[in-house]
Structure 1
Amino acid sequence: MTPNPAWRKSSRCASNTCVEAAPIGDTVLMRDSKHPGQAPLELSAADWAGFLEAVQAGDYEEAV
């Protein structure tokens, strides 16, 4: 894993309660912006794409 991933969060994020993502080669790291020191999740590019599709489809609306 890269020691300093380039973390990004949505431009719609107006607080520190956001998901951050960092592409690293063929994977994407994902973490909670409230807890940047915790180990991130590591997703394949395909899993990341599936997650984004689910978010855009509203599959996680009730989880918020």
Structure 2
Amino acid sequence: MNETESPKWRRSSRCSGGTCIEVAKVGGTYLIRDSKNPQLPAHSFTEDEWVAFVAGVKGDEFVF
């Protein structure tokens, strides 16, 4: 990750009430953070990990 590049955080258009997950891409790294606690460190994922996660969401792998 390029340390000089500032993340541009995005929220889902479905976010409501301020309890959202935010995503940013810096270089080839995807960052995830909780919008309620943006001061906490973000979780980081490689491009391959992010693609697998998105595929899992779209494939309903996380439905309980």
Q: Into which bin does the TM-score normalised by the smaller protein fall?
A: 0.7 to 0.9
Stretches of structure 2 lacking an aligned partner (at least 5 in a row) = none
Please give the alpha-carbon distance, in whole angstroms, between the structure 1 residues aligned to 2:23 and 2:31: 5
Greater helix share, structure number: 1
Instruction: Name the CA shift for 1:41/1:2 in 2 (closer, same or farther; >3 Å).
Output: farther
- Which of 29, 37, 56 is residue 58 of structure 2 equivalent to? 56
User: When the two structures are superposed, what TM-score results if normalisation uses the length of structure 2?
Assistant: 0.80
Compute the RMSD of aligned alpha carbons: 1.6
Stretches of structure 1 lacking an aligned partner (at least 5 in a row) = none
Please give the alpha-carbon distance, in whole angstroms, between the structure 2 residues aligned to 1:20 and 1:6: 10
- For the 8 Å contact 2:30–2:45, the answer to whether it is kept is yes
Q: Percent sequence identity over matched residues?
A: 37
Name the larger-Rg structure.
2
User: When the two structures are superposed, what TM-score results if normalisation uses the length of structure 1?
Assistant: 0.80
